[in-house]
Structure 1
């Protein structure tokens, strides 16, 4: 069974990510693998009722492509167990914005998982944007990736994990003596 990092721990991944075929076609609901599935937004939008009828909310997740509009899934938060955000290549950062929008603007409280080309170097920044689960590339070391959470003592900017910028935290006495 594959593993993921979830809530800063390595755990078994019992979800199957469903991808479109090479020609872009989506699988039929009856052709989906058994168990928990993370389906593309397009499949969810086309087959929402059939997916909901064939599985419970605990077994359905939806993943968003970098060009997806996160607002399109807001009405369905209660019908899905998790939202994945695809990072197709390391240099595509649109998923960070999707994560922040889901958490800050739309108030998503469930699992937010980074999928695709997820590398150790991105984990700290993904965490700051609201991600709490990471499906690393198969060729990456999970134990090494866990160290990314502790690489920085302080962050200057506010983000999902701590909305106050450093100067506000310092003013409030939350940091003690900090040298910049």
Structure 2
């Protein structure tokens, strides 16, 4: 599933307070929260240098098997998008001022990776031999 890009303006219209949306603080361990009935988890990047949301997304996808949407919010820049997608995020709210076309080009820059990740756990050689 490709990463859905959302502009900051579009995100203002969405409802993060809906009961099926879990807004997870950066210092929370995803393994300690109740995911029953949750359709979307919002993870926040307070600064582009703070990668805790990457770890949280990876835990949600790989260790907890969460199948819902995972949304990146906060200081989300275009150059972060490939890693955001590989760690299991399904949506990214771009920081105000980020160009949508630039973000889309950044996502298209690397169509595949050799290593496994949260989305495709097997490395490419194992996927190709299957």
| Shorter-normalised TM range | 0.7 to 0.9
May I ask how many residue pairs the two structures share in their alignment?
126
2:27 to 20, 42, 67: 67
How does the TM-score come out when normalised to structure 2?
A: 0.83
Report the Cα distance in structure 2 between the residues aligned to 1:77 and 1:100, rounded to whole angstroms. 18
Structure-2 change in CA distance of 1:10 and 1:114 (3 Å):
closer
Structure exhibiting the larger radius of gyration computed from Cα positions: 1
Matches within 5 A, 1:1-180: 7-8=3-4, 10=6, 12-13=10-11, 14-15=13-14, 36-38=15-17, 57=19, 60-73=20-33, 75-78=34-37, 80-170=38-128, 172=129
* TM-score, length of structure 1 as denominator length: 0.62
Q: What's the offset of the Cα at 1:71?
A: 1.5
Distance 1:63 1:119 in 2: 20
Using the alignment, how far apart are the partners of 2:119 and 2:35 within structure 1? 24
Distance 1:140 1:9 in 2: 11
Instruction: Deviation per CA, 1:50-93: give whole Å up to 9, x if none.
Output: xxxxx6x3xx42222322111122x2331x33111111111111
Q: Please give the secondary structure, in 2, of the residue aligned with 1:96.
A: helix
Summarize deviations over 1:123-165 as a string: whole Å, max 9, x none.
1101111001011111111121112221113312101221111
Alignment root-mean-square deviation, CA: 2.2
The 2-side partners of 1:140 and 1:153 are apart by 22
Gaps of 5+ in 2: none
